[in-house]
Amino acid sequence: MEFYKYQGTGNDFIMIDDRTELFDTDNQKMIERLCDRRFGIGADGLILLRNDTAYDFKMIYFNSDGRASTMCGNGGRCIVAFAKFLNIIQHTTTFTAIDGIHEAKIENDIIHLKMNDVEHIKNNKGDFVLFTGSPHYVKQVEKLDLLDVYKEGKEIRYSNDFKEEGINVNFIELIDAQHFNIRTYERGVEDETYSCGTGVVASSIISSIIQNKNTNQFKINTKGGTLQVRFEQQGSSYKNIWLIGPAIMVFYGKIF
């Protein structure tokens, strides 16, 4: 099997050109083995690029546990870079993913990915729950660098409110009106990852709400690098949301 390895701010993915649709999407154990960092290639997730009859391509995403999952923002940026490498697109694209249609553009090797609108945000005793292509829990903290993200994130992810379907847990530390630090515990990976695109989007919206300053553009420091998010607020809805950052091929090869 030929594969390509991409990373977006340290969130890494196995990318497979599956336009022939030969990949067995039902083989959860195989996907989990491929993502294993000791016995496989190693990745936070696996992404298939397939043909789509109406759009440039289709994105199919699996978490490292081998299960098909909801939208992955960093993975979305990586598949756009992969599609350009395969000469499927040039500098703009429209593609489909599990949560619907996405637009994207490439400017100076930086990927701009348009995310779906956010309509509903729940206040959970001062923390927040929302859906940005994947479900997210956002909690503001101090001294983020000292936080046990694995322990604290796992407790929330497996709490009674979320244990059935799971939730991604984001801890944010505000720097100023347009900057914050973030660390994320991801379901499916069941550990802290270096970056989470949909989590960065969710946390940017919540940062705007917490600070009540109508800020709609953020620079976010993840463990794996810097991302940007911008959006427009229309009443209680958030629209024209863009996730912006690098997506880089690391290596390619064959696994047997």
Per-residue pLDDT of the chain (256 residues; tens, 9 = 90+): 999 999 999 999 999 999 999 999 999 999 999 999 999 999 999 999 999 999 999 999 999 999 999 999 999 999 999 999 999 999 999 999 999 999 999 999 999 999 999 999 999 999 999 999 999 999 999 999 999 999 999 999 999 999 889 999 999 999 999 999 999 999 999 999 999 999 999 999 999 999 987 889 999 999 999 999 999 999 889 999 999 999 999 999 999 8
Catalytic one of 47, 72, 81, 172: 72
The answer on 212 and 140 residing in a single domain is yes
Q: What is the pLDDT of residue 13?
A: 98
Residue 183: strand pairing partners: 171
Tell me, yes or no, if 78 is annotated catalytic: no
Please write the tens of the pLDDT for every residue from 41-71: 999 999 999 999 999 999 999 999 999 999 9
The answer on 232 and 142 residing in a single domain is yes
Q: What is the pLDDT of residue 231?
A: 97
The answer on 134 and 103 residing in a single domain is no
Q: Give which of 69, 71, 64, 24 is closest to 46, Cα–Cα.
A: 64
The answer on 127 and 39 residing in a single domain is no
CB hemisphere CA count around 73 (13 angstroms) = 31
DSSP character string of 137-173: EEEE-S-GGG--HHHHHHHHHTSTTTTTT--EEEEEE
> In this structure, what DSSP letter does residue 117 have?
P
Burial class (CB in 10 A: 0-12, 13-18, 19+), 31: buried
The answer on 82 and 13 residing in a single domain is yes
Q: What is the pLDDT of residue 175?
A: 96
Q: What is the pLDDT of residue 28?
A: 97
With contact defined as beta carbons under 8 Å apart, do 134 and 169 qualify?
no
CB hemisphere CA count around 190 (13 angstroms) = 10
| β-strand pairing of 135-140 with 237-246 | unpaired
Q: What is the pLDDT of residue 256?
A: 86
Domain containing residue 217: CATH number:
3.10.310.10
Q: Give which of 247, 253, 254 is closest to 6, Cα–Cα.
A: 247
Distance CA 7, CA 15 (A): 10
The answer on 39 and 107 residing in a single domain is yes
Q: What is the pLDDT of residue 183?
A: 98
The answer on 97 and 14 residing in a single domain is yes
Q: What is the pLDDT of residue 212?
A: 84
3-state class of 120 per DSSP?
A: coil
Q: At what angle are helices 197-211 and 73-85 packed, to 10 degrees? A: 130
Instruction: Quote the domain boundaries for residue 37.
Output: 2-115+247-254
Distance CA 20, CA 232 (A): 39
The answer on 184 and 164 residing in a single domain is yes
Distances, alpha carbon 206 to alpha carbons 22, 138, 178, in Å = 41, 7, 12
The answer on 43 and 107 residing in a single domain is yes
Catalytic one of 14, 83, 113, 196: 196
Distance CA 76, CA 61 (A): 9
The answer on 106 and 17 residing in a single domain is yes
Q: What total number of domains does the chain contain? A: 2
Q: What is the pLDDT of residue 87?
A: 98
Q: What is the pLDDT of residue 180?
A: 98
With contact defined as beta carbons under 8 Å apart, do 231 and 238 qualify?
yes
The answer on 143 and 95 residing in a single domain is no
Which amino acid appears at position 16 of this protein?
Answer: I
The answer on 129 and 108 residing in a single domain is no
